[in-house]
Amino acid sequence: MKLTKIRLYVEHPLGQGQILPLVRAQAHYLFDVMRRRPGDSVLLFNGRDGEWRASVAEADKRGGALEVLEQTAAQIDPPDLWLIFAPLKKARTDFIVEKATEMGAARIIPVQTDFTNAERIRQDRLQAHAIEAAEQCGGTFVPEVADLARLDRLIDAWPSDRRLMFCDETLAGAARGLASADRGKWAILVGPEGGFSEPERARLSTLPLAYPVSLGPRILRADTAAVAALTLWQIALGDWR
């Protein structure tokens, strides 16, 4: 019987001959759920050293160990792109983190805006979603999911070398894209279901590196807007070109 491929994110450094001790949860997943046995292969990545093939060296209900054998893919980091978004209900927030990871965001920052629907997030749970998405999509990089930040504070401390693609729903239908924009460090900002408040819009318009853009003639739901904005940016300036 052909075994399904397993890709696991680990924190341990990866290199030929490394022995990785498994914690109980990893051992349970590999040996009880996925039925792996000594000698079976597993693919590993840690976000820094590319992807490696390892084999089960020792299987035990409470632990066990993997031996790292050979590199199967080089490390590929995404462009320096942040996705800043206002968290929505749980499932839609999970969706945005998963899609942003698959689509190549380097950092994911949930923000509280004037009309944000959610007041808190579980950063650890969202980070785990990003790890799962990277395991599943074949990526070797896992974006960091930041803690919930306030949009006004983020704008006050905005780095002078990072451009901001500001998805502004009031521009729906206008011909405003990224045509003349340069590559480099970027962030995408997508608002909540209620959109941006006037004070937020006024504050954003004072940022010298803000590019207000339209995502077409229709108003998209915030989760759709995040995927559309990532697509637009990746095609215009990112690693899909």
Instruction: Tell me which of 84, 134, 190, 227 binds ligand SAM, using CB under 6 A.
Output: 190
Torsion of CA 30, 35, 37, 42, to 10 degrees: -50
Tell me if residue 224 falls in helix, strand or coil: helix
Torsion sign over Cα 32, 33, 35, 39: negative
Interacting span for ligand SAM (CB under 6 A) from 15-23, 33-41, 186-194, 231-239: 186-194
Q: CB 27 → ligand SAM: shortest distance, Å?
A: 43
Decide: is 231 part of the binding site for ligand SAM (CB under 6 A).
no
Cβ atoms 99, 127 nearer than 8 A: no
Cβ atoms 126, 142 nearer than 8 A: no
Q: CB 114 → ligand SAM: shortest distance, Å?
A: 11
Tell me the residue length of the chain. Answer: 241
The first and second tokens of residue 45, run together, are 């990545």
Decide: is 223 part of the binding site for ligand SAM (CB under 6 A).
no
Decide: is 26 part of the binding site for ligand SAM (CB under 6 A).
no
Instruction: Tell me which of 68, 154, 225, 237 binds ligand SAM, using CB under 6 A.
Output: 225
Tell me if residue 27 falls in helix, strand or coil: helix
Interacting span for ligand SAM (CB under 6 A) from 34-42, 128-136, 149-157, 168-176: 168-176
With CB under 6 A as the rule, give the number of residues binding ligand SAM: 19
User: For residue 98, which amino acid is it?
Assistant: E
Instruction: Tell me which of 172, 178, 207, 236 binds ligand SAM, using CB under 6 A.
Output: 172
Decide: is 222 part of the binding site for ligand SAM (CB under 6 A).
yes
Torsion angles phi and psi, residue 158, rounded to 5: -65, 130
Q: Which residues bind ligand SAM (CB under 6 A)?
A: 167-169, 171-172, 190-191, 193-196, 214-216, 219-222, 225
